[in-house]
Amino acid sequence: MASARPITPSAINALLVLATISATPVSAQASQPTVVAIDGVLCDLTRTLVASDAKVVCLIQPGSDPHNYRLKPSDRQALSSASLVLHNGYNLTPSANKISGSTKVVAVAEKAIPTTDHANHDNGHAEHGGHDHDESDPHVWHDPANSAAMVTVIAERLAPVLPSTQQSALTARAAEAINVLNRVGDWGGKQFATIPENQRVLVSEHKAYSYLTNRYGLRQITMLDSFTTGGVLRPSSLRTITAEVQGSGAQTLFPESLPVSKTLRRISRSTGLPVNGTPLFADGLAPDRSTVGTATLNICTVVQGQGGQCDQAAADELMARWSAIR
């Protein structure tokens, strides 16, 4: 399947000019604006673009489950005082739907990735973490080109919020962020190309990686979403999963968290495949990692688990470039 078209720095320049023209000028002496980033990778993307020009409040921390997240009183206070509220959209965090409707609330993924582009990414992603995702896989950032598109949307919405004196810096940071994310996308293609062709498959419990597998031409087998009802592993489901996985070229089963669930251990015993020692991070950032750091970690985990080789030195360089954005 064709990959998403990379976002170019010139595109974001045009958007920022339009946003700045329509914005009410903000005095440099005014109190620093507050931006709330709710879920997914938005906290890191927003902090990278804002630098020190606004206060960014992040509601869902790395490792937390957005599907079951409930807004706390402190969250509601931050939301009420924010100049801008960013959430992923596509029902990644159902509780975020309760704050939709305000002009300052933006569903970033829905703006960055049109609904029509989602049509082929779910179709059976019935339940992930116990919550419906409607008809769209919300984990759009697993294709780095989509992360770049999200940067464009965030920067466009930040322009009216930040002081007029910071517009050129915002434009420069956004352009560099897009450049790095596009390079991550290209780097990922080179890593996946090292996997033997008959082993280009990703076996996981849930369908959270459709954007990753579609971008890089992998087959995705979602054991619980595709072969069970409500995630219940019946003997007939286990037999079907075992036959599907054993004939797929899979070398390992990828967990989404540690310790490994009893269900995944049961599937491992039945298929004879090991559970990978490093989990994939589906719902946001890996602990102590950035958007780029999480992307390179997930890519290397899949590539090495399926018999390929990962250029860690190049990944480290990309992470350093991302961290250097100021």
Query: Is residue 2 in a domain?
Result: no
Mean pLDDT of 233-237: 85
Per residue in 15-52, pLDDT (tens digit) is: 555 555 444 444 443 589 999 999 999 999 999 999 99
* Residue 147 confidence class, pLDDT cut points 50, 70, 90: very high
Would you say 217 and 200 are in contact if contact means Cβ atoms under 8 Å apart?
yes
* Reported pTM: 0.85
112 and 24 fall within a common domain: yes
pLDDT of residue 3: 52
Give one DSSP letter per residue of 103-128, joined into a string: TTEEEHHHHHS-GGGGTTS-SS---B
219 and 319 fall within a common domain: yes
Name the domain count of the chain. 2
Percent of residues, the chain, with pLDDT higher than 70: 81
118 and 154 fall within a common domain: yes
Among 6-10, 158-162, 187-191, 234-238, where is mean pLDDT lowest? 6-10
Domain coverage including residue 57: 9-184
The last residue of a domain, from among 136, 168, 184: 184
Count the residues in the chain.
Answer: 326
* Residue 63 confidence class, pLDDT cut points 50, 70, 90: confident
230 and 111 fall within a common domain: no
* Residue 99 confidence class, pLDDT cut points 50, 70, 90: confident
The last residue of a domain, from among 128, 160, 184: 184
How many Cα atoms sit within 13 Å of 285 on the Cβ side?
A: 19
Alpha-carbon distance of 157 to 177, in angstroms, equals 16
